[in-house]
Structure 1
Amino acid sequence: MESKLPAAVCACLRANPHVTRLLNLVVALAAFIGLNLLSLPTWAGQLSKPEIERRFGPPLHVQEKLSDIPAWPLTSELEPEGGPVGYVFESIDLAPIPGFEGTPMNFLVSIDRKGNFLGVELLRQHEPVFLGGLGEAPLREFITQYAGRNIKQQFLIALDAARNRTGPSANQGFQTTLDGVSKATASVRIVNQSVLGAALEVARAKLGFADRKQRGPAAHVLPDVYDPTTFAEMLKNGMVGRLRLTNADVEKMFAGTDGAGVDDEALAKPDKVFVDLYIAYLNAPTIGRAILGDSQYKAAMARNFENRHLWWIASAGRYAILDDNFTPGAQSPRLTMAQDGLFLELRDQGFDPKDIAGPPELNASRLFGVYAEAGLDPARPLELALTITRAKGMILPLLTHTQAKLSYAPPQRLFAYPPEPTPEWLLAWKARWLELAIIGAALVLLTVVLARPRWISVNPRRLKVFRLGFLAFTLLYLGWYAQGQLSMVQITGAIKSLKAGQGLTSYLYDPISLLLIAFTLVSFVIWGRGTFCGWLCPFGALQEFIGLLARRLRLPRLRIPQKLAKKLEWGRHVTFALLVGAAFLLPRQGETLNEIEPFKTAITVGFDRSWPFVAYAAGLLLAGAFYYKFFCRFICPLGSAMSLGGRLRRFAWLKRYDVCGKPCQSCKAKCAYDAIEPTGEIRYDACFQCLDCVGIYHDNKRCPVLIYKKKGEIFIPTGVVRADQDGSAKTRSEPAGSRPESEKLPAH
């Protein structure tokens, strides 16, 4: 097939074989991922009804699982006719949010019909920090805090927050605070999103909670706004909603149905009022006091101890909002209320207001309420529907129903909108702003140094002080304090999340890691893999300090021939391929295999772990004492991933003279990482960017080329010859001008 690539692109690929190999690798990896994505797993709950029944004793009883939403209703012996008093469900069925390992956690969550949490139980989790690190005890303790708190509240997470594990939360406003878990801040935020996400799905489906994803938080009444007004004025400005239907209007509504033409009075007096329907929102003082009067308004609000939304609903004319079988305190079968397509439980409040001034003679006048937890926004339009029924026939009459609908929204000036709740991920970023600022400043400093490395590296002592100081910052602050150790778990977790179709939003909850990932990706293009592995890896920094301590103690240093070392370096690539393959095909086993990285033991939990893990990490550090950065060079799967990313490097930023390696071996002999070939080329895949060779390149006291140049001689493969005053040599082993400009000998 004829190539469709532009000629310039083809030329670029021919000139850059590394780019070609990288593209081939990307294509192969994309094909592999595509084949595996064809069989996406479905996260599902693990409990049966008998298993849930064992968790709930009398007076509660677990009913059959619902068909429209994966939840089990809870009924109570104390309310045999009251319907469900709560619901119990598994979070993984409703909010399967992947953790950092890529697998969603699973919790058994129970809520009552008002949206209060009855309890949260851990069923399954795969978070690295809670698997052998901190253990599950802190996680189990964390989730006990949900009991008694309400879904409607905004949940915040903070360390050392006051806890209230029994009864309702002391925070009765828009927010409630949970005490977090140290060293697991990002993981507990994912826990919170899993629990709340699942609970809200059930609340929206079964408790009438409105979905606020698109419209933000609900408005609340301004209690101090009161403007005396009349009933007529309220009808004009929308404070009172009204729907007036004549007999003729209703007859049209039944046209074409079995209810048409069966109302003799409607046919005889078509202009007579059939129903005059009124509605007013009483929680707003201007409306409530005008409708009820001051004394009745105070009495109604005093009875409203649950802070329900209250409406005055009344009717006049032939038809009433109440039928003959109406029971005070219950719902009226003739009235329904909905907002945004979700029906609300509109219940009579047992309050019969008297002396309502303004409307015509009423046939019914009652106060109705909706739970405050229903998610209703009182300032937005809602729909009140009045069901009208006609009967055809005397014996076993045929009933026909229709609905008259009234849209109602009080004036906006009576309400205030609270600010939209801050997204959970943004709260995580705000909570760590100081750490992000410090790490960001450190990354800027590192960028400046690497962009202009000559000044810092030409003086060996200056370079040593800066490098050791920065590595100490990486280990102590970035690693042990800020928990910024990047890990292979983040790569395998991303694979599992994408394979499950869940996306990578969980990474937003760990701002430190996300900042480091972004910086590392950029560094690939400029410097290659060495920026992260040589400067930003806390475990790598720990190994470097262990190596320096070993030198001070004069421990023997092992040397491996470079050819053998190159073969052993394939170990990290094999490990990387093994972990990636397990993430695709054997995710459960992959969780155990990820322990080949000692990062969690040595950095995340600071060696506070069971002895096999500590012994393994200590063994690797001991090996690094005898062979420099043993784990990084031969085992580290993350280092393999960094090497692959380093193929994106676009600049040969480590300059070389044409005599480097031919015959000069000075830099190679001093490179602790064996990253310089005998021929003088830099192996960027093995380079940890220590800048030693950069300093030697520019130092006329250490670089043989510059030393001879300073003496007026030129160091060339065939020997040393005296140079003329203009710097040219009389004898050369290669044609003049063949040396690249960046590699020619410097002038005096």
Structure 2
Amino acid sequence: MARWGVALLSAWTLLLSCAALWAEAPEPLPRAEIEARIMPPYALGDLAGGDLGTKGVYLLLNSGGAEIGYVFETGPLAPLPGFSGAPIDMLVMMDKAGLILDLQLLSQREPVFVSGLGEAPFREFLTQYPGLSITQSLVIGVPYGAGGAGSDLTYLDGVTKATASVRIAHESILAAALAVARDKMKGMKTQAPARPDPEIREELSWPDLVAQGIARSLVVSNAELDTAFAGTIWAEDDPEAKSDPEGAYLDLWLVDVGPPSVARATLSEETREELEHFLEVTPEAEPFLVMDAGRHGLVSADFVRNTAPDRLSAEQGGLPMGLRDADIWVELAEGPPETETAMILWADRRQGFDPLTEWTLKLQAVRRHGMFQPQIGDRHFTLDYVAPERFFIVPQGHKPLPAWAEAMHNRKPDLIVLAVGLVALLVLLGPLMNRFAAQRYFTRYRLVILALVVTFVGWWGQGQLSIVTVLAVLRALSGDGSLSVLLYDPFSLLIWAVAILGFFLWGRGLFCGWLCPFGAMQELMHHLGRGLRLPQIMPNARWDHRLKKLKYLMLAGLVFVAFAAPDYAEKAAEVEPFKTAVTVYFQRSWPYIAYAAGLLLLSMVLFKGFCRYLCPLGAVMAIGGLLRGRDWIKRREACGSPCQLCRVKCAYGAIRKTGEIQYDECFQCLDCVTIHDDPGQCVPLILAAKRGARNRQEEAA
């Protein structure tokens, strides 16, 4: 048995440190079930092509039948396991710019949402996602590090009593959405774009802009235009080009005037003021000055201001990029060349445009052949452009921390307080144990510590360990699920680590006697019952021994259900009242409240009855206690024969008639240590003192 316990613990500890395994991906839902969830004005299209099509990724159509995005489940794409071992499955509707249009919960088996809080707070949490984009830096909780203080981060409110579960859902949504974006929306940026830095002030001239590549030009002669149309029916349809082959069809300049320093070098003061006002109204716009001294003229005669230019287009990263006229009358500063046409166009950073990533301006040359119903032909000329980085604020981007690191950061104050408290407790129960137990008000001190465990570790920190975690570990060890879910709750993980350390030092007693919030509740209720002078139920030794075996039967039954009928494992785990009494503060339906409250009331007359006889987690702790490397409670030869005081006083029944401590049932209350060290209570010490006094009297006589 001990060998088995060591093997299990070793595997457990190893996997906790490095496990990040994914669960088996569920099969996508049938098309009919997904289609029923798509509400107008949207419609479900065909399966998307490629590998993701086999994982249930569909095209999303608008009311006109155009493809505007994708529909997919998170389960098949990102099967990150929850505490039940099963992924949380959600349906996501996302447009081609990465904007989440809708998010629906399909299935989940998280214990806290199955029968604890219910699904309502989980569904409420998910309502935060529609309207957000995967190009934003989405995080749950509070900011961390220098990047966290920036405006590029979008914070989502978690669910207080289910932090780990909502983090799992969050990671699943992002992982699935990014998988679709990388495969189906190539070129879409997933980082916030750079924006001009208003604090940068640099004196520049037009020659400086040209020399540094900030102002870029494209010249196309009439002869080059003719060459582009050569061999087509439009080859002879531009007499002006034929008559002046060296003349300029395009003599174009392109400048990003978003940076104030560049705007001052190119635009008059009046135009700059108008541009500044425009940018106040449209802060996500990146403005460009486009000038042409050739015949092209930038736009056609039919162009309407404040609309998209009809002869200019752009693309970035292989994707089309929208350009629009800013409707600003352009007056140039001294220095730029005189031109026939000048316009300020703008691109929208919200659509993923990044001025520091190279993009291409495309200019359309149009010719007509025929008089009444002319045939239209065109050719395109291109100019590549990228803005200088020194004039821009480059977002560092929210570099996602590993899930465990982000969770630790968000609970940093709680973890510090918990760590300090655990170290103090280990010192009290270790090197200072005998001094601590010998204190006059030891029982009061113990009750204060237990009250802190209930309030801080339990209700505030949500650090009640549970058999659910043990079942998740066993499923992960068998290949069904992953231990990575434990990393989402560092507060409980720290308590687990200390409890495991306690196995080696004291057995099960450290957690069961000092760190279990529900166990602390029972002990506090017991003292209340004693204060009210309620009669106490004290099973005899035979029945006490029999009843203590029930917790092992409970554990075996839960393990069986977890593997044989996993869909019922969460319900079966309700044999623990922890979720009701600690996690949700008794805010549940009446049967659960009655069960938890009944156990607490029972503890007023039957000392920690649940802990001693029914708790499956206590059975696990008792098995882990086999790793104990020492007998830490001192005994004397007279303990047990003839002295039985410690055994009689032990409310846990953890001392045999022989005086031997039964460590698998010892809760480390230290009552026997107090008796052992107290000359006024320990019978052997009292007798020894009397013998010493008698001997001294005889010697004096």
Note if contact 1:523-1:531 (Cα within 8 Å) is conserved in structure 2. Answer: yes
- Aligned twin of 1:131: 114
Aligned to 2:161: 183
Rounded to whole Å, the distance in 2 between the matches of 1:532 and 1:331 is 73
- Cα shift at 1:226: 3.6
Please state if 1:546 is matched with 2:525: yes
- Worse-matched range after superposition: 133-142 or 45-54: 45-54
Rounded Cα–Cα distance in structure 2 between residues aligned with 1:187 and 1:598: 20
Whether 1:512 aligns to 2:491 is yes
Number of the residue aligned with 1:526: 505
Deviations 1:24-61 (A, max 9, x none): 5568999999xxx999622344352554345312x322
Residues 1:557 and 2:532 aligned together:
no
The correspondence for 2:91, drawn from 108, 111, 116, is 108
CA offsets per residue over residues 388-421 of structure 1, 9 Å max, x none? Answer: 9xxxxxxxxxxxx999996845133543546746
Partner residue, 1:717: none
Which AA in structure 2 matches 1:589? Y
Q: Which runs of 5+ in 2 are unaligned?
A: 143-148, 222-246, 365-378
| Residues 605 and 27 of structure 1: CA distance in aligned 2, closer, same or farther (over 3 Å) | closer
Partner of 1:233: 208
1-side partners of 2:216 and 2:427: how far apart? 67
Deviation at 1:587, TM superposition (A): 2.4
Indicate the structure whose relative CO is greater, using CA pairs within 8 Å and at least 6 residues apart. Answer: 2
Change (3 A) 1:690 1:368: same
Aligned to 1:163: none
Aligned residue for 2:554, secondary structure, equals helix
Alignment CA distance shift 1:441-1:590 (3 Å): same
Do the aligned residues in 2 keep the contact of 1:112 with 1:118 (CA within 8 Å)? yes
Q: Is 1:457 matched with 2:437?
A: yes
Q: Which amino acid aligns with 1:654?
A: I
Query: What is the alpha-carbon distance in structure 2 between the residues aligned to residue 296 and residue 583 of structure 1?
Result: 71
For 1:713 and 1:495, the matched residues in 2 are separated by 58
What secondary structure does 2:91 align onto?
A: strand
Contact 1:241 1:280 in 2 (8 A): yes
Q: Is the aligned partner of 1:588 residue 2:557?
A: no
Letter in 2 for 1:64: D
Post-superposition CA distance 1:183-224 (Å, at most 9, x none): 334434444444444444445543844345xxxx65432123
| 1-structure distance, mates of 2:107, 2:637 | 60
Counterpart CA distance in 2 for 1:32 and 1:475 is 30
Q: Distance in 1 between matches of 2:162 and 2:13?
A: 32
What's the secondary structure of 1:85's corresponding residue?
A: strand
Partner of 2:349: 372
Partner of 2:61: 75
For the 8 Å contact 2:513–2:668, the answer to whether it is kept is: yes
Matched residue, 1:307: 284
Structure-2 change in CA distance of 1:363 and 1:686 (3 Å): farther
1:450 positional shift? 0.4
- Shift of residue 632, structure 1, vs aligned partner: 1.6
Q: Does residue 382 of structure 1 match 2:358? A: yes
| Structure 1 residue 361, shift from structure 2 partner | 10
For residues 428-507 of structure 1, the aligned pairs below 5 Å read: 429=408, 432-451=411-430, 452-459=432-439, 461-496=440-475, 503-507=482-486
Partner of 2:393: 415
After the TM superposition, which of the residue ranges 176-185 and 610-619 deviates more from structure 2? 176-185
Is this contact kept in 1: 2:547–2:613, CA < 8 A? yes
- Determine the C-alpha separation between the residues in 2 that align with 1:29 and 1:409: 53
Distance in 1, matches of 2:556 and 2:253, equals 71
State the percentage of identical aligned residues: 35
Secondary structure in 1 aligned to 2:665? Answer: coil
Tell me how far apart the structure 2 counterparts of residues 431 and 567 of structure 1 sit (CA, whole Å). Answer: 45
Select which of 672, 684, 687 maps to 1:693.
672
1:61 match: 43
The Cα shift of 1:445 comes to 2.8
Contact 2:43 2:62 in 1 (8 A): yes
Measure how far apart 1:292 and its partner are.
5.6
Aligned partners of 2:6 and 2:627 also within 8 Å? no
Residues in 2 aligned to 1:76 and 1:501: alpha-carbon distance in whole angstroms: 40
1:706 maps to which residue? 685
**Quick one: which amino acid aligns to residue 382 of structure 1?**
E
CA drift of 1:530 comes to: 0.7
Partner of 1:146: 129
Q: Within 2, Cα distance between the matches of 1:318 and 1:527?
A: 91
Change beyond 3 A, Cα 1:22–1:66: same
Q: Which structure 2 residues correspond to residues 143-292 of structure 1 after superposition, within 5 A?
A: 143-155=126-138, 173-204=151-182, 205-206=184-185, 208-212=187-191, 218-240=193-215, 280-291=255-266
SS in 2 for 1:121: strand
TM-aligned CA deviation for residue 66 of structure 1: 1.6
> In the TM superposition, what are the counterparts of 1:569-588 in structure 2 within 5 Å?
569-588=548-567
Task: Tell me the residue number matched to 2:321.
Answer: 346
Maintained 8 Å contact 2:69/2:94: yes
Q: How big is the shift at 1:659?
A: 3.6
CA–CA separation in structure 1 for the residues paired with 2:658 and 2:248: 103
Q: Aligned partners of 1:94, 1:226: CA distance in 2, in Å?
A: 48
- In terms of mean alpha carbon deviation, does 305-314 or 634-643 score higher? 305-314
Residue in structure 2 matched with residue 165 of structure 1 by the alignment: none
Q: For 1:141 and 1:695, how far apart are their aligned partners in 2? A: 52
**Equivalenced residues, count:** 638
1:713 CA displacement: 6.1
Helix, strand or coil at the partner of 2:67: coil
Corresponding position of 2:68: 85
Alpha-carbon contact 1:208-1:345 (below 8 Å) kept: no
**Aligned letter for 1:523?**
G
RMSD of equivalent CA atoms = 4.9
Distance 1:501 1:350, change over 3 A: farther
Q: Is it true that 1:620 corresponds to 2:602 in the alignment?
A: no
Structure 1 stretches lacking a partner, 5+ long? 1-16, 160-170, 247-271, 389-400, 715-720, 727-748
Seen in structure 2, the aligned counterparts of structure 1 residues 318 and 484 have a Cα distance that, compared at 3 Å, is same
Are the equivalent residues in 1 in contact too, given 2:22–2:81 (CA < 8 A)?
no
Report the Cα distance in structure 2 between the residues aligned to 1:287 and 1:38, rounded to whole angstroms. 51
Post-superposition CA distance 1:612-655 (Å, at most 9, x none)? 22233344345544543222223222112222332333333222
Alpha-carbon distance change, 658 to 172 in structure 1, aligned in 2, over 3 angstroms: closer
Change in 2 beyond 3 A, CA 1:76/1:29: closer
Amino acid in the other structure paired with 1:74: L
User: Post-superposition shift, 1:531?
Assistant: 0.6
Inter-CA distance 218–349: structure 2 relative to 1 (3 Å threshold):
closer
CA displacement 1:507-538 (0-9 Å, x = unmatched):
44434323322322332332222111101111
What displacement does 1:696 show? 1.6
For the Cα contact (< 8 Å) 1:345–1:371, is it kept in 2? no
**Are the equivalent residues in 2 in contact too, given 1:534–1:690 (CA < 8 A)?**
yes
The DSSP-based 3-state class of the residue aligned with 2:441 is helix
String of CA shifts for 1:117-169, please: whole Å, max 9, x gaps: 4333222222222223222223333333334344444446579xxxxxxxxxx
Residue number in structure 2 paired with 1:262: none
What residue in structure 2 maps to residue 734 of structure 1? none
SS of equivalent residue, structure 1 residue 146: coil
In structure 2, relative to structure 1, the CA distance for the partners of 1:385 and 1:454 (3 Å cut) is same
1:260 is aligned to: none
Pair 1:309–1:62, CA change in 2 (3 A): farther
Conserved 8 A contact 2:97-2:188: no
